[in-house]
Structure 1
Amino acid sequence: MPHFGQGTESAKRTLRREFLAVRSRLTPDDMRESAQALARRALELPELAGAGTVAAYVSVGSEPGTLALLDALRARGVRVLLPALLPDNDLDWGPYTGRDALVRVRHGGRMALFEPPAPHLGPDAVTEADAVLLPGLAVDARGMRLGRGGGSYDRVLARLEGAGVHPALVVLLYDEEVVGRVPEEPHDRPVDAVVTPSGVRRLPES
């Protein structure tokens, strides 16, 4: 792991490259099996079992797969909200009504995202969630999450804090992405739990 004295943002960039390189070597079979296991584990979470509304996301590329989990939540009668990326990197939200309704959207030169169809509900809709599922690249024992660096979920977490609401914050990762420590900045906020294909871990760990 890089030494944080090189600068926190530089350390984060180095770590992102390392974790993305590992993910790039996953096979389709690896990802399919991981997605099924991740869904089973996540559905064991009491915070999801009791949730009326869950803010989630559609995985892309080599991210831990979320569609099986989204379908299972919807089958339970949970209202699932999905993000739509705005030009300023903030997130709007819309309901998940099934895979066939998702819209493939390319934002500039980035990887295409799968988003809910318009009309959307506005960025503040996330404050209605009982649990928020967060993407990431790593998390440490304190619950500090390493994101991809776009800042979209930093805005989401700040919006939740500003609204005075405290949904369960859960990051979905592969097993090897739970690490000893990730670099943090003052605006970073810890998550409450991490779900990987092998199980659930509560954070922070003592």
Structure 2
Amino acid sequence: MKKLIDGVIKHILKNRNCVIRISGHGAAGKTNLAEEIMERMEHDTFNYLNTDAYIIPGEYRKSLGAVYEYENEEYRGKVTACLPAAHELASLKRDLLMLRRGMDFLTIDADWAPEKIIHADRPFTIVDGMSTTFLEDRLFDLSIYIYTDGETELARRMERDVNDRGRSSEALISSHHQRRIQYELFMHEKRDEFDIVIDDTVGRFTVEKNSVMI
């Protein structure tokens, strides 16, 4: 991990006005990685944008249905955040283009993250979240994709979503299989568009791809 963070910081410092995306499935370790990078940077030199606020709330997705085929079997399930339809992609793209064109913007106000200004004059911006997976890579100067296996994801979700966020463990377990299928079908193949790909499954931290030679 330290070697990777050292390389990312070195790359960032060489490329001013740098927009970095960190993406992957839920509980993959995106925010932990973002925090490790931010701890090494001076506070007033960067923006941090968590894109969870661009995910359409579940109450508005209840009436939507996803139909897909996996291993020669048809599935019907709810629209999870592993599908592009669950995200306000046009709004996120607009905000990133504003930033690139030198304009500040105000983040979406949420209970877990009050609104704040993203400052265009700051040299670095870290954009953290699943929504970034479905945007064009041209919007970013450095792209990092992180993932785990299904067992690790579920264990981390149980610790975070049940213990910290009050979700039902039964609901989490019942939705896990379908969420992983949707992830494999609609998200995981997107990793090929990223500069750095990391497997952060418990027991290993492996950089599988590094095309920027950091």
Q: Fold-level match, TM-score > 0.5?
A: no
Q: Which has the higher contact order (CA 8 A, sep 6+)?
A: 2
- TM-score, normalized by length of structure 2? 0.36
* Pair member with larger Rg: 2
Q: More helix per residue: 1 or 2?
A: 2
- TM-score, normalized by length of structure 1? 0.37
